[in-house]
Amino acid sequence: MLVLVVNCGSSSLKYQVRELEPGAEGGTVLASGLIENIGGAAVRDHTQALELLAQRLEDELDGRTIDAAGHRVVHGGERFSVPALVDDGTIDAIEELSPLAPLHNPAAVLGLRAVLQKWPELPQVCVFDTAFHGTMPEHVWRYAVPEEFYERWGIRRYGFHGTSHDWVTGQAARFLGIPRPEFSCVVAHLGNGASVTAVRHGSSYDTSMGYTPLAGLVMGTRTGDLDPSVVTSLLRRDPAATPEGLDAVLNKESGLKAIAGDHDMRAVQEAADRGDERAELALAMAAYRLAKYVGGYHVAVDGAQALVFTAGIGENAVAFRKRVCDRLGALGVVLDDDANAARSRGIRRISAPESAIEVLVVPTDEEQAIASATAALVAAGSAGAPS
Protein backbone atom coordinates (compact mmCIF):
# COMPACT_ATOMS: atom_id res chain seq x y z
CA MET A 1 0.00 0.00 0.00
CA LEU A 2 1.30 3.48 -0.88
CA VAL A 3 0.54 6.00 1.85
CA LEU A 4 0.99 9.73 1.50
CA VAL A 5 1.78 11.29 4.89
CA VAL A 6 0.85 14.96 5.10
CA ASN A 7 1.91 17.46 7.75
CA CYS A 8 0.33 20.83 6.98
CA GLY A 9 1.37 24.15 8.46
CA SER A 10 -0.33 27.43 7.69
CA SER A 11 2.28 28.22 5.01
CA SER A 12 3.94 24.86 4.43
CA LEU A 13 3.15 21.28 3.48
CA LYS A 14 5.57 18.51 4.43
CA TYR A 15 4.99 15.15 2.77
CA GLN A 16 6.32 11.65 2.54
CA VAL A 17 5.16 8.65 0.53
CA ARG A 18 5.79 5.27 2.11
CA GLU A 19 5.16 1.82 0.77
CA LEU A 20 4.13 -0.60 3.49
CA GLU A 21 1.96 -3.60 4.23
CA PRO A 22 -0.96 -3.04 6.60
CA GLY A 23 -0.06 -4.42 10.02
CA ALA A 24 3.64 -4.37 9.26
CA GLU A 25 6.07 -1.77 10.45
CA GLY A 26 8.76 -0.07 8.49
CA GLY A 27 8.14 0.22 4.82
CA THR A 28 10.16 2.15 2.29
CA VAL A 29 10.18 5.90 1.77
CA LEU A 30 9.51 6.44 -1.94
CA ALA A 31 9.28 10.22 -1.94
CA SER A 32 9.46 13.11 0.48
CA GLY A 33 9.64 16.85 0.40
CA LEU A 34 8.42 20.22 1.56
CA ILE A 35 6.34 22.86 -0.17
CA GLU A 36 6.97 26.23 1.46
CA ASN A 37 5.66 29.79 1.20
CA ILE A 38 2.06 28.75 0.63
CA GLY A 39 0.09 31.98 0.36
CA GLY A 40 3.02 33.66 -1.44
CA ALA A 41 3.37 34.59 -5.10
CA ALA A 42 4.26 31.12 -6.43
CA VAL A 43 1.89 28.91 -4.42
CA ARG A 44 -1.39 30.72 -3.82
CA ASP A 45 -3.07 28.34 -1.37
CA HIS A 46 -3.18 24.73 -0.16
CA THR A 47 -5.23 23.66 -3.18
CA GLN A 48 -2.45 24.86 -5.45
CA ALA A 49 0.13 23.23 -3.20
CA LEU A 50 -1.72 19.93 -3.75
CA GLU A 51 -1.52 20.41 -7.53
CA LEU A 52 2.22 20.91 -7.18
CA LEU A 53 2.49 17.86 -4.95
CA ALA A 54 0.53 15.73 -7.45
CA GLN A 55 2.90 16.77 -10.24
CA ARG A 56 5.93 15.93 -8.11
CA LEU A 57 4.50 12.54 -7.16
CA GLU A 58 3.80 11.68 -10.78
CA ASP A 59 7.53 12.01 -11.46
CA GLU A 60 8.81 10.55 -8.21
CA LEU A 61 6.51 7.51 -8.15
CA ASP A 62 6.99 6.54 -11.81
CA GLY A 63 3.29 6.61 -12.49
CA ARG A 64 2.26 4.59 -9.41
CA THR A 65 -0.65 6.07 -7.50
CA ILE A 66 -1.18 6.47 -3.79
CA ASP A 67 -3.77 4.36 -1.93
CA ALA A 68 -4.40 6.52 1.12
CA ALA A 69 -3.39 9.74 2.85
CA GLY A 70 -2.55 10.10 6.54
CA HIS A 71 -2.61 13.55 8.10
CA ARG A 72 -0.91 14.78 11.23
CA VAL A 73 -3.49 16.76 13.19
CA VAL A 74 -2.37 18.54 16.34
CA HIS A 75 -5.61 18.69 18.29
CA GLY A 76 -8.23 15.98 18.54
CA GLY A 77 -9.84 17.40 21.69
CA GLU A 78 -11.86 14.88 23.68
CA ARG A 79 -13.57 13.58 20.58
CA PHE A 80 -10.63 11.78 18.95
CA SER A 81 -8.68 9.43 21.15
CA VAL A 82 -7.61 7.12 18.31
CA PRO A 83 -6.79 7.74 14.62
CA ALA A 84 -9.90 8.46 12.54
CA LEU A 85 -10.90 7.52 9.02
CA VAL A 86 -12.13 10.76 7.44
CA ASP A 87 -15.84 10.98 6.67
CA ASP A 88 -18.18 13.92 6.15
CA GLY A 89 -18.20 14.95 9.78
CA THR A 90 -14.50 14.52 10.57
CA ILE A 91 -13.15 17.63 8.88
CA ASP A 92 -15.88 19.81 10.39
CA ALA A 93 -15.16 18.34 13.82
CA ILE A 94 -11.46 19.14 13.47
CA GLU A 95 -12.35 22.65 12.38
CA GLU A 96 -14.56 23.05 15.43
CA LEU A 97 -11.55 22.25 17.61
CA SER A 98 -9.60 25.19 16.11
CA PRO A 99 -10.04 27.46 19.15
CA LEU A 100 -7.98 24.89 21.08
CA ALA A 101 -5.16 24.93 18.49
CA PRO A 102 -5.54 28.16 16.51
CA LEU A 103 -2.15 27.87 14.80
CA HIS A 104 -2.39 24.22 13.82
CA ASN A 105 -5.87 22.81 13.28
CA PRO A 106 -6.95 25.32 10.59
CA ALA A 107 -3.87 24.35 8.56
CA ALA A 108 -4.68 20.64 8.87
CA VAL A 109 -8.24 21.38 7.70
CA LEU A 110 -6.88 23.19 4.64
CA GLY A 111 -4.71 20.15 3.86
CA LEU A 112 -7.60 17.70 4.33
CA ARG A 113 -9.92 19.70 2.09
CA ALA A 114 -7.24 20.15 -0.56
CA VAL A 115 -6.58 16.39 -0.71
CA LEU A 116 -10.33 15.72 -0.81
CA GLN A 117 -10.73 18.13 -3.70
CA LYS A 118 -7.79 16.70 -5.63
CA TRP A 119 -8.51 12.99 -4.98
CA PRO A 120 -12.17 12.71 -3.86
CA GLU A 121 -12.08 8.89 -3.70
CA LEU A 122 -8.84 8.61 -1.71
CA PRO A 123 -9.28 7.24 1.84
CA GLN A 124 -7.90 9.72 4.35
CA VAL A 125 -6.92 9.16 7.97
CA CYS A 126 -6.19 11.70 10.71
CA VAL A 127 -3.65 10.92 13.40
CA PHE A 128 -3.91 13.25 16.39
CA ASP A 129 -1.06 14.56 18.53
CA THR A 130 -3.32 14.62 21.56
CA ALA A 131 -4.82 11.15 21.13
CA PHE A 132 -2.22 9.08 23.01
CA HIS A 133 -2.93 11.12 26.13
CA GLY A 134 -6.63 10.19 26.12
CA THR A 135 -5.80 7.57 28.75
CA MET A 136 -4.73 10.13 31.37
CA PRO A 137 -6.97 9.74 34.44
CA GLU A 138 -9.21 12.60 35.46
CA HIS A 139 -7.20 13.60 38.52
CA VAL A 140 -4.29 14.13 36.13
CA TRP A 141 -6.00 15.99 33.27
CA ARG A 142 -8.07 18.35 35.46
CA TYR A 143 -6.90 21.80 36.44
CA ALA A 144 -8.08 22.90 39.86
CA VAL A 145 -10.29 25.68 38.47
CA PRO A 146 -14.05 26.30 38.50
CA GLU A 147 -16.06 23.72 36.56
CA GLU A 148 -17.21 26.34 34.07
CA PHE A 149 -13.66 26.69 32.72
CA TYR A 150 -13.88 23.09 31.58
CA GLU A 151 -17.56 22.88 30.65
CA ARG A 152 -17.72 26.13 28.73
CA TRP A 153 -14.19 26.62 27.41
CA GLY A 154 -12.75 23.11 27.26
CA ILE A 155 -9.94 24.11 29.60
CA ARG A 156 -8.14 20.96 30.77
CA ARG A 157 -4.83 19.28 30.13
CA TYR A 158 -4.66 17.56 26.73
CA GLY A 159 -0.97 16.89 26.09
CA PHE A 160 0.82 16.79 22.72
CA HIS A 161 3.56 14.92 20.79
CA GLY A 162 1.42 11.83 21.39
CA THR A 163 2.28 10.14 18.09
CA SER A 164 5.96 10.29 18.99
CA HIS A 165 5.54 9.26 22.65
CA ASP A 166 3.38 6.32 21.58
CA TRP A 167 5.76 5.17 18.87
CA VAL A 168 8.85 5.48 21.02
CA THR A 169 7.19 3.58 23.88
CA GLY A 170 6.43 0.66 21.56
CA GLN A 171 9.99 0.61 20.22
CA ALA A 172 11.52 0.77 23.70
CA ALA A 173 9.32 -2.04 25.06
CA ARG A 174 10.26 -4.26 22.13
CA PHE A 175 13.96 -3.43 22.47
CA LEU A 176 13.88 -4.43 26.14
CA GLY A 177 11.78 -7.52 25.45
CA ILE A 178 9.01 -6.39 27.80
CA PRO A 179 5.35 -6.85 26.73
CA ARG A 180 3.92 -3.36 26.32
CA PRO A 181 1.09 -3.76 28.86
CA GLU A 182 3.76 -4.54 31.47
CA PHE A 183 6.04 -1.67 30.48
CA SER A 184 6.27 1.60 32.40
CA CYS A 185 8.71 4.33 31.40
CA VAL A 186 9.34 8.04 31.10
CA VAL A 187 9.71 9.36 27.55
CA ALA A 188 11.49 12.67 26.98
CA HIS A 189 10.70 14.03 23.51
CA LEU A 190 13.22 16.85 23.26
CA GLY A 191 13.07 18.85 20.04
CA ASN A 192 12.45 22.56 19.48
CA GLY A 193 9.17 21.79 21.20
CA ALA A 194 9.70 19.39 24.08
CA SER A 195 7.55 17.30 26.36
CA VAL A 196 7.96 14.42 28.76
CA THR A 197 5.40 11.67 29.29
CA ALA A 198 4.80 9.22 32.13
CA VAL A 199 3.87 5.92 30.49
CA ARG A 200 2.21 3.44 32.84
CA HIS A 201 1.54 -0.11 31.62
CA GLY A 202 2.08 1.05 28.05
CA SER A 203 -0.35 4.00 28.14
CA SER A 204 0.01 7.71 28.80
CA TYR A 205 -0.62 8.51 32.45
CA ASP A 206 0.68 12.07 32.60
CA THR A 207 2.49 14.49 30.32
CA SER A 208 4.17 17.85 30.70
CA MET A 209 2.30 19.83 28.05
CA GLY A 210 -1.17 20.93 29.03
CA TYR A 211 -4.02 22.93 27.59
CA THR A 212 -1.52 24.10 24.97
CA PRO A 213 2.04 23.07 24.03
CA LEU A 214 3.39 25.98 26.10
CA ALA A 215 3.43 24.09 29.40
CA GLY A 216 6.11 21.90 30.92
CA LEU A 217 9.77 21.86 29.95
CA VAL A 218 12.01 24.80 29.08
CA MET A 219 11.99 24.67 25.26
CA GLY A 220 13.79 26.38 22.37
CA THR A 221 11.54 29.44 22.45
CA ARG A 222 8.77 28.49 24.92
CA THR A 223 8.72 29.13 28.65
CA GLY A 224 7.34 25.84 29.82
CA ASP A 225 5.70 26.00 33.27
CA LEU A 226 5.02 29.51 34.51
CA ASP A 227 2.93 30.97 37.29
CA PRO A 228 -0.21 32.24 35.48
CA SER A 229 -0.09 35.41 37.57
CA VAL A 230 2.90 36.49 35.49
CA VAL A 231 0.49 36.98 32.60
CA THR A 232 -2.27 38.78 34.51
CA SER A 233 0.26 40.91 36.36
CA LEU A 234 1.94 42.07 33.15
CA LEU A 235 -1.42 42.77 31.53
CA ARG A 236 -2.22 45.04 34.49
CA ARG A 237 1.15 46.70 34.95
CA ASP A 238 2.66 47.07 31.47
CA PRO A 239 0.66 49.51 29.34
CA ALA A 240 2.12 47.97 26.18
CA ALA A 241 1.13 44.39 27.11
CA THR A 242 -1.63 42.65 25.14
CA PRO A 243 -2.80 39.01 25.16
CA GLU A 244 -1.51 38.55 21.61
CA GLY A 245 1.83 40.17 22.43
CA LEU A 246 2.32 38.04 25.53
CA ASP A 247 1.31 34.93 23.64
CA ALA A 248 4.01 35.69 21.09
CA VAL A 249 6.67 36.40 23.73
CA LEU A 250 5.93 33.31 25.80
CA ASN A 251 5.83 31.05 22.73
CA LYS A 252 8.50 32.57 20.50
CA GLU A 253 10.88 34.70 22.55
CA SER A 254 11.28 32.66 25.73
CA GLY A 255 12.96 29.39 26.71
CA LEU A 256 16.60 28.89 25.72
CA LYS A 257 16.33 31.89 23.40
CA ALA A 258 15.43 34.28 26.22
CA ILE A 259 18.17 33.07 28.55
CA ALA A 260 21.00 32.19 26.16
CA GLY A 261 20.13 34.34 23.14
CA ASP A 262 19.73 31.31 20.86
CA HIS A 263 16.95 28.74 20.57
CA ASP A 264 19.10 26.01 19.04
CA MET A 265 20.56 23.46 21.47
CA ARG A 266 23.71 22.97 19.43
CA ALA A 267 24.47 26.70 19.48
CA VAL A 268 23.67 26.97 23.19
CA GLN A 269 25.90 24.00 24.04
CA GLU A 270 28.77 25.41 21.96
CA ALA A 271 28.42 28.76 23.72
CA ALA A 272 28.41 27.06 27.13
CA ASP A 273 31.53 25.09 26.14
CA ARG A 274 33.22 28.43 25.40
CA GLY A 275 32.39 29.63 28.89
CA ASP A 276 29.28 31.71 28.13
CA GLU A 277 27.51 32.06 31.47
CA ARG A 278 24.04 32.73 30.07
CA ALA A 279 24.24 29.60 27.92
CA GLU A 280 25.35 27.62 30.97
CA LEU A 281 22.42 29.00 32.95
CA ALA A 282 19.95 28.11 30.18
CA LEU A 283 21.23 24.52 30.08
CA ALA A 284 21.11 24.23 33.86
CA MET A 285 17.52 25.46 33.86
CA ALA A 286 16.41 23.11 31.08
CA ALA A 287 18.13 20.08 32.61
CA TYR A 288 16.81 20.81 36.09
CA ARG A 289 13.23 21.17 34.86
CA LEU A 290 13.44 17.89 32.96
CA ALA A 291 15.06 16.02 35.87
CA LYS A 292 12.31 17.30 38.17
CA TYR A 293 9.66 15.90 35.82
CA VAL A 294 11.45 12.57 35.49
CA GLY A 295 11.56 12.23 39.28
CA GLY A 296 7.87 13.06 39.57
CA TYR A 297 6.89 10.71 36.77
CA HIS A 298 8.96 7.88 38.25
CA VAL A 299 6.59 8.16 41.20
CA ALA A 300 3.54 8.60 38.93
CA VAL A 301 4.12 5.26 37.19
CA ASP A 302 5.08 3.37 40.38
CA GLY A 303 8.65 3.02 39.22
CA ALA A 304 9.77 3.45 35.63
CA GLN A 305 11.67 0.60 34.00
CA ALA A 306 13.26 2.97 31.50
CA LEU A 307 14.00 6.60 30.72
CA VAL A 308 13.83 7.16 26.97
CA PHE A 309 15.32 10.09 25.08
CA THR A 310 14.04 11.01 21.62
CA ALA A 311 13.79 13.82 18.98
CA GLY A 312 16.54 16.22 17.86
CA ILE A 313 18.03 16.99 21.27
CA GLY A 314 17.14 13.66 22.89
CA GLU A 315 18.75 11.68 20.07
CA ASN A 316 21.84 13.85 19.54
CA ALA A 317 22.71 16.10 22.46
CA VAL A 318 25.25 13.94 24.32
CA ALA A 319 26.18 16.60 26.89
CA PHE A 320 22.58 17.51 27.66
CA ARG A 321 21.60 13.86 28.24
CA LYS A 322 24.55 13.56 30.63
CA ARG A 323 23.57 16.75 32.44
CA VAL A 324 20.05 15.39 33.00
CA CYS A 325 21.10 11.87 34.00
CA ASP A 326 23.72 13.18 36.42
CA ARG A 327 20.84 14.79 38.32
CA LEU A 328 19.01 11.45 38.60
CA GLY A 329 21.41 9.67 40.93
CA ALA A 330 18.72 9.53 43.61
CA LEU A 331 16.71 7.27 41.28
CA GLY A 332 19.72 5.01 40.83
CA VAL A 333 20.33 6.13 37.24
CA VAL A 334 23.91 5.49 36.11
CA LEU A 335 24.95 6.53 32.63
CA ASP A 336 27.55 4.65 30.58
CA ASP A 337 29.53 7.66 29.35
CA ASP A 338 31.03 5.84 26.37
CA ALA A 339 27.67 4.50 25.23
CA ASN A 340 26.17 7.96 25.70
CA ALA A 341 28.90 9.55 23.58
CA ALA A 342 28.78 6.92 20.79
CA ARG A 343 27.11 8.12 17.60
CA SER A 344 24.44 5.89 16.16
CA ARG A 345 21.21 6.29 14.27
CA GLY A 346 19.62 3.25 15.85
CA ILE A 347 17.88 2.46 19.10
CA ARG A 348 20.44 1.98 21.89
CA ARG A 349 21.03 1.60 25.62
CA ILE A 350 23.19 4.30 27.24
CA SER A 351 22.91 3.29 30.90
CA ALA A 352 25.52 1.28 32.78
CA PRO A 353 24.66 -2.34 33.73
CA GLU A 354 24.24 -1.33 37.39
CA SER A 355 21.73 1.43 36.61
CA ALA A 356 18.41 0.95 38.44
CA ILE A 357 16.57 2.33 35.39
CA GLU A 358 17.48 1.57 31.78
CA VAL A 359 18.31 4.70 29.83
CA LEU A 360 17.65 4.43 26.10
CA VAL A 361 17.93 6.59 23.00
CA VAL A 362 15.12 5.76 20.58
CA PRO A 363 14.88 7.66 17.27
CA THR A 364 11.37 8.90 16.75
CA ASP A 365 9.60 8.52 13.41
CA GLU A 366 6.25 10.25 13.38
CA GLU A 367 5.82 9.75 9.63
CA GLN A 368 6.24 6.02 9.99
CA ALA A 369 3.77 5.97 12.88
CA ILE A 370 1.21 7.93 10.85
CA ALA A 371 1.74 5.73 7.78
CA SER A 372 1.28 2.54 9.84
CA ALA A 373 -1.89 3.82 11.51
CA THR A 374 -3.27 4.93 8.16
CA ALA A 375 -2.56 1.63 6.42
CA ALA A 376 -4.10 -0.33 9.30
CA LEU A 377 -7.30 1.75 9.38
CA VAL A 378 -7.75 1.78 5.62
CA ALA A 379 -7.20 -1.99 5.39
CA ALA A 380 -9.69 -2.58 8.21
CA GLY A 381 -12.18 -0.18 6.61
CA SER A 382 -12.05 -1.79 3.19
CA ALA A 383 -12.18 -5.30 4.70
CA GLY A 384 -15.45 -4.36 6.39
CA ALA A 385 -16.95 -2.50 3.43
CA PRO A 386 -19.43 -4.16 1.06
CA SER A 387 -17.70 -5.04 -2.22
In the complex, the residues that contact ligand AMP under the rule CB under 6 A are: 191-192, 220, 264-266, 269, 311-313, 316-317
Torsions phi, psi for 11 (to 5 deg): -125, 15
Provide, rounded to whole angstroms, the least separation between the CB of residue 69 and ligand AMP.
23
Measured from the CB atom, the residue of 22 and 193 that comes closer to ligand AMP is 193
Q: Counting beta carbons within 10 angstroms of the beta carbon of residue 104, is it exposed (0 to 12), middle (13 to 18) or buried (19 or more)?
A: buried
For ligand AMP, the closer CB: 136 or 188: 188
How far apart are alpha carbons 238 and 269 in whole angstroms? 34
Buried b (16+ CB within 10 A) or exposed e, 163-175: bbbbbbbbbbbeb
Coil, strand, or helix at residue 210? coil
Nearer to ligand AMP, 43 or 283 (CB): 283
Question: Which positions ≥6 away from 316 have C-beta within 8 Å?
Answer: none
Residues 6+ apart with CB under 8 A from 67: 1, 2, 3, 122, 123, 378
Smallest separation, CB 366 to ligand AMP (Å): 10
Active-site residue among 129, 166, 206, 365?
Answer: 129
Q: How far is the CB of 191 from ligand AMP (least distance, A)?
A: 3
Q: Would residue 92 show up in a list of annotated catalytic residues for this protein?
A: no
Q: Compute the least distance from the CB of residue 343 to ligand AMP, in Å.
A: 9
Give the residue at shortest CB distance from ligand AMP: 312
Cβ contacts of 257 within 8 Å, gap of 6 or more: 220, 221, 263
Task: Please say which residue, 248 or 341, places its beta carbon nearer to ligand AMP.
Answer: 341
Opening angle at CA 165, ends 3 and 329, nearest 5: 150
The smaller minimum CB distance to ligand AMP, of residues 311 and 377, is found at 311
How far the first Cα of the chain sits from its last, in Å, is 19
Beta bridge partners of 197: 187, 207
Q: Which residues of 307-329 are buried (b: 16+ CB within 10 A; e: fewer)?
A: bbbbbbbbbbbeebbbbbbebbe
Are the C-beta atoms of 335 and 214 separated by less than 8 Å? no
Q: Residue 189 Cβ, how far from ligand AMP at the closest point, in Å?
A: 8
* Cβ at position 326, least distance to ligand AMP in Å: 17
Task: State which residue, 90 or 163, has the beta carbon closest to ligand AMP.
Answer: 163
Q: How would you write 292-307 as a 3-class SS string?
A: HHHHHHHHHCCCCCEE
Let me know: does 283 contact 268? Beta carbons within 8 Å.
yes
Active site residues: 129
